[in-house]
Amino acid sequence: MSAHCFSTLSLKPELTDNLTTLGYDQMTPIQAQSLPVILEGKDIIAQAKTGSGKTAAFGLGLLQNLDVKRFRIQAMVLCPTRELADQVAIEIRKLARGIHNIKVLTLCGGTPMGPQIGSLEHGAHIIVGTPGRILDHLDKGRINLDEMNTFVLDEADKMLEMGFQDSIDAIIEAAPVERQSLLFSATFPEQINWIAGKLLRNPVNVKVESEQSDSTIEQQFFLVQDKEQRKEALHLLLMQHKPESCVVFCNTKQATFDVTDYLAARGFSVAVLNGDLEQKERDQTLIRFANKSISILVATDVAARGLDIDKLDAVINYELAHDADTHVHRIGRTGRAGEQGLACSLYVNRDSSKLVDIEDYQKITISESDLPDADVLNAEVYGPQMATLRIDGGKKQKVRPGDILGALTGKDGIPGSDVGKINVTDYCAYVAVKKVSAGFALKKLENGKLKGRNFRVWRIR
């Protein structure tokens, strides 16, 4: 039996049995390093990125500490964004399937307060949420932390970057002194030490190196002279490589708007992702990018947190990241699972110290690459192969992915191979279909029935 098998851990039988049914056998590096320490009840400070398996590491730890018969808040997980909080809550519920009557509650900003207040009145075992909203509920006396035994900070660096330090401090003050605290962060800015000092007692340090071998990511660096040439360089790179899915990273919200406008004016399929987006708009943008009906996402680092897209063909750093750690985090989103990835970075002369930091951090030598020839602009602007249809019915109307697939591919329908990802949310659903079939698919859904009902359907452009 491998030392990295979950079965070697002293977990409750209901957790071990459920892991077997989920097909979780071997631990990821972060799980193998942190779980034995967590199960010993020690505090940890862990460096781990999205997609490393860290959620299962702290999720199993807090479930091990839980007494389901005591209907009190026993664990809290703080996350920087609602998307990440939702992902974490889903994973914890999955890990807890073998435990009956467990209640996991998500508390985030950007969603109505009323239902959350109602849910809190009924109690919960585990709360997952964003610092601002959790502090709000704490201040109003709706949350009692007297019996909390496990406190998790997930992606602590981004919470600090988003200005949550005061809220985190206040929540730490409200938490019981006797507890286990687990801090996970992809990067370690100075303020982390401040938070760690207040939060953790004799922590064990855990660090997992990037799981992408750098060889799967081809890095290129391009010198540009000014803002105008920066935009032109981006245009040339996109036309040369034609990535089906590409994230363009900018350092400011204003830059994301400028770049998105520039690319849209040249006919690219592009969307912006920054902190100004309404939650609904953000969710819809992420769904369309993940289902390949938008080719390019122009994002800030904070907005891209929790972004988990399979097979990202390219990352373009429109501006170099502020530090080498963030640079590695950005480019690590391409070349996943052994696929070949491409990372192009634009820089100006005054970025020389950043380049040296990246060289030292990654142990590489950076040389300037030549930008593509202007001839690439003679080709037609490429676009996505998929289109997204939105259906005005979701989980609350009992609509399931199978219903949508059946309605599209049933009698005289479109081939199943023309249907892409299907996402069903509480009140609506999104389905990606090949562009060539989009018109027909739209009519099929408009004229057909789902759950015996007609729903409004339209194509998102």
Each residue's pLDDT tens digit, 164-182? 888 899 999 999 999 999 9
Quick check: 231 and 376 in contact, CB under 8 A?
A: no
The Cα 96–Cα 64 span in angstroms is 10
Listed residues 378, 395, 423: the one ending a domain: 378
Q: Starting from the edge strand earliest in sequence, which strands make up the sheet with 419-424, in order? A: 419-424, 429-434, 386-391, 457-460
pLDDT at 297 over 80: yes
> How confident is the model over 60-83, as a mean pLDDT?
93
- In this prediction, residue 440 has a pLDDT band, given cuts at 50, 70 and 90, of very high
> How confident is the model over 231-252, as a mean pLDDT?
96
Tell me: do 65 and 175 sit in the same domain: yes
Tell me: do 371 and 448 sit in the same domain: no
> How confident is the model over 9-31, as a mean pLDDT?
91
pLDDT at 161 over 80: no
> How confident is the model over 103-128, as a mean pLDDT?
89
Count how many domains the chain has: 3
- In this prediction, residue 211 has a pLDDT band, given cuts at 50, 70 and 90, of very low
The Cα 440–Cα 241 span in angstroms is 31
Residue 1 lies in a domain: no
Give pLDDT, residue 170. 93
Give pLDDT, residue 214. 46
Give pLDDT, residue 84. 86
Listed residues 207, 228, 254: the one ending a domain: 207
pLDDT at 54 over 50: yes
Distance of CA 226 to the CA centre of its chain: 32
Query: Which of the pair, 288 or 209, is modelled with greater confidence?
Result: 288
Give pLDDT, residue 339. 67
The Cα 314–Cα 296 span in angstroms is 10
Listed residues 347, 378, 409: the one ending a domain: 378
| Bridge partners, 312 (sequence order) | 334
Tell me: do 242 and 220 sit in the same domain: yes
Q: What percent of the chain has pLDDT over 90?
A: 64
Average pLDDT along the chain: 90
pLDDT at 2 over 70: no
Residue 343 lies in a domain: yes
Give pLDDT, residue 213. 46
- In this prediction, residue 335 has a pLDDT band, given cuts at 50, 70 and 90, of confident
* Structure-derived torsion over alpha carbons of residues 121, 428, 159, 313, reported in degrees to the nearest 10: 150
pLDDT at 212 over 50: no
Give pLDDT, residue 132. 87
